[in-house]
Amino acid sequence: MDMCKSILVTGGAGFLGSHLCERLLSQGDEVICADNFYTGRKDNIAHLIGHPKFELIRHDVNFPLYVEVDQIYNLACPASPVHYQFDPVMTTKTNVHGAINLLGLAKRTKARILQASTSEVYGDPDRHPQPEAYWGMVNPIGPRSCYDEGKRCAETLFFDYHRQYGVDIRVARIFNTYGPRMHPDDGRVVSNFIIQALQDKEITIYGNGLQSRSFCYVDDLIEGLVRLMNCEDITGPVNLGNSGEYSMLELAEKILELTGSTSQLRFYPLPEDDPRQRCPDISQAAQYLGWSPTCELSVGLRHTIEYFKGLLQEMRGASNQRRASMATERYLRKLA
């Protein structure tokens, strides 16, 4: 029987982090969730508050954290262009200073540490699908560079700490992931399309819509992260994502079909440095982790659509309540 572990999850109130905290608690581990709530949301982990093995800390990884743990998952960083480009200097600092601080913690406690890296390290690739050995084509001075190069530098630090100090590391390169608890305003294609479709608004497509992405459901991704953390045979980097590939037009059509929306497509210029293709070679994950995604896109999209339906209903309810409250206040002022 496995021993209960004490595990730190930074960025634990975010989309992926909250699902990871749930998974770790379900297998009996003690979880410390650290988040500065820059993009993480308390609603994501509210149901975990009060769990006897869950602890929440408001903390920014740009500053050292002093805890005693067996494992560290570093998921701390805004992951969508809307959020990471809002304060690009802070994004770079979070990637670099955060990695240094957490690697220092792992060195002191002898904890195993996993870095949530990204497919963005491959840039706009000229090799398809992208294997881990591919070095990528990244613009070091563009508007996305704070995230792309920040993550690349974090990987460098992880491997240097491993080589120089013997820190026990794992590096996961995460490809497009979707599912419940995605931030509604993160600007990512799945959340954008679903929210626009549910409101019968125009579906915004950048470029000609033929650029492709692969989409991995969150439960599959979390399974991959946990397997990588607990695998003894590989440090990484390891690609985690779904190798099924869809164009933006195909994704939009599928979401329109599943929502029954009357939304029309509207095309806009392609953002600078936006990759034309993004699809993982997951042969290493299959070989070393025995992992591959199992959730079909249509199934995962249905779960995600239901989540956003509920979220939009809550938002409408809160808006109606505010309007009613304001009307009551105006009426009372008249009586006074």
Annotated active-site positions, please? 147
CB 115 within 8 A of CB 76: no
- For residue 139, the one-letter residue type is N
In contact, 155 and 212? CB cutoff 8 Å: no
Pick from 147, 108, 98, 172: nearest CA to 274? 147
Distances (CA, A) of 55 to 4, 10, 52: 15, 12, 8
Q: Check residue 286 and report its DSSP letter.
A: I
If you compute the radius of gyration of the chain from its CA atoms, what whole number of angstroms results?
21
**Does residue 51 contact residue 26 with C-beta atoms inside 8 Å?**
no
Nearest one of 146, 223, 122 to 179, comparing CA atoms: 223
And the tokens for 57?
């800390």
Where are the alpha helices (H) located in 143-188, listed in sequence order?
145-165
Alpha carbons 127 and 129: distance in angstroms, whole number: 6
